[in-house]
Structure 1
Amino acid sequence: MAHAAPFSAVPGAVIVDDVLQHVGNPMGEQRALARGTALAPLGDRAVIAVDGEDRLTWLDSLTSQALARLTPGESTELLLLDPQGRIEHAAAVVDDGETAWLIVDRADAEGLLAWLLRMRFRLRVQPRSADAEVAVVGGAPDALARTSPASPAGVPLIWRDPWPAITVGGYGYAAVDPHPGAERRWAEALVSLEELDRLAQDAASGALDLAGVVAADALRVAAWRPRWSGEVDERALPHESDWMRTAVHLSKGCYRGQETVAKVHNLGHPPRRMVALQLDGSESTLPERGAAVRRDGDEVGVVTSAARHFEEGPIALAVLRRGVPVDAALTVDVEDVRIAAAQEVIVPPDAGATANVPRITRLSRRARAT
């Protein structure tokens, strides 16, 4: 579905591959999103609806999250793992009492839906694409109050991001307090295509402030928030990106990959760990996803997401080998040069078989800027 097309009339709109990238001022759009005065049409998301009486117990049995008792309107997220515990798919979840609505990265939607359809067996479940019914709009809860979310069963379809809280059954590895994600208030509303057109008309007339996905993703990176399209590759474990906080229930029972999740958490350590990087700002180009992170010239990791933040400047998330020292001097490959990158630990080297990880006070962005 061409969900970005209605926004082509908005002054300054830059649309690439049916996704609104920005409306001319990504830094200003970040500020507006953070203040709660702008909305971001998220054309890089897709929606899968799962109907049927068995939908929640079925999803519970397949995924990393406890969903059997999910109440209408409650927000959570799940991971689908392979038998070795590696992440294959990820989804945000909100249920309205009749249907479970999964918000996924668009590039993951086709594969996830195909997998769900194969796993129905004789259960009363019916997964389907809902892209012809709803679109996804993101922002702070205050901003989403300007929308009319879809509510086919009487429950407004709003997913409130639980990150970075440690949800029931979860576990947090990041040893900083306060967590940078605590400053990010984020939610995503499912709106009808008619409502999307209305929002586009308000934005074109100047009655509504918009932000693109460039701004939304910069706030995500600054919050250390993992995402399928960024932090997931063929080796990704939920432990290494601190995704155990919100997407894994450690005591819910069996599901595919559960044995590995439990072993790494209780007995071992993930082979890689996610870090935040403060990048040298002298280069105008950000590193690409997959750009090499080096120590003394040797590759020790890769960039997973990069952004230019309105307060912190150029930043990135990266996964490193677990044994890379936390104080190691690092560089990142950007085009034909290597730029300096200061490491901030997200997942410590001893994550996994660890008890009582000490909390490290982290200065807020505002305090560091003064």
Structure 2
Amino acid sequence: MIEENKLSSRGLFMWFIAAVFFSYEFLLRTVVGTFEHPITYDLKLNLVQFSIISSVAYQLIYALMQIPAGIIVDRYGLKKSLTLAVSVCAAAMLGFSFSEHFGTALLYRLMIGFGSSFGFICILVIVYEWLPLRRRAFFVGLSQFIGTVGPMISGGPLTYWSEVGTFNWRHLFIYLSIIGVAIATLAFIFVKNKEQSLDEVIVVEKPTDNVSQIKSLWYAQILWIVFYSACVYFAIEYLSENATKQYLSFHNISAVNSSFMITLSWLGYACGCPSIGFMSDYFYTRKRMMQICAVLVFVSLLLIVLFPFNIWLLRIGFFFLGVGVAGQTIGFAAVAENTEKKYIGVALALNNAAMMFVMAINAPIVSYTIDALGGGPDDYQKALLILPAMGFLAILISTFKIKETYCKSNREPTIIHRV
């Protein structure tokens, strides 16, 4: 077994393979939207059908598969799970590239969501099984930083090429499928399942079924951390996909500047994930960093919602919103440290799924509130106050409900090494 605080070349390379897949599946998540017009035209879709293919189908299967994916990783190991996931994504992209109508495109999009649902879980399991104990939060944050490369490619060069007609989307999807085959090959060759070292004394336990795995997560501390993660993450997803451009247009902020604000928030997120994770590891604290991040989210959202007429305050607010949202990185670390090792895959999946489900539930509530109030500038502002309210709730949870782990497991016995 790799020593708790020693970085191994194998573990690092396995992490790199999983990180590349995470960025790859993040690209697959957004690339369909980049080619909205040609895909809609070629497949003869209406706007509702396209939205189902691009967003609803993917997010639904992704969220529903989080806990099953965690169980599969725990039961069948990283090697089989990661290789299967990448292979499904690659096959689905190839199939999508040859689709001629809504039904087949929907099927392949669901397959992409299925394969992608393993991406972040596999990288988290590698971090917690193969990388040093003191650097876990840093590597989780760095993984999320690498993951943002995918949507940056989709939103940058691919968007430009789509606009000027440089790429045919079918050809691009075939190339993406080939890239997936290459990643799957690397996973099959180099990824290993964790094995018990001969110098450790272990207790052999009776295997547990899936129901027992899920029941083991019904532990108050885990549930509070999961709730915290969902509260801090919701705003960045909602503002990226809804309301921002319309709300800011009421205050003479152009669509270009509004898009720049959203980009700033993701830039803050990309910078915040590794830096917040590093500081959490360095100072041996999860709780304090989660509190700081929750405060950043709350204050940033107040700036965005209450001062939309000041472009500099908006820029500051959006950037530090992204930095604060990085607190959910610490949430993953804290969940793992409050979970027995054999249930880590399922626990991390629960945390990931919760963020998706909160987004799916709260987004229409906020949008419905805007419509119900009338849809004017003041109505947007009143409805969007829900966002800082969730940030304030995260402050309360991190202050009064979440306990400090000091960057070590609270649910595992001490390992005794033979002398």
Which TM-score bucket, shorter chain as reference? Answer: under 0.3
Higher-Rg member (1/2)? 2
TM-score (norm: length of structure 2): 0.23
Higher helix share: 2
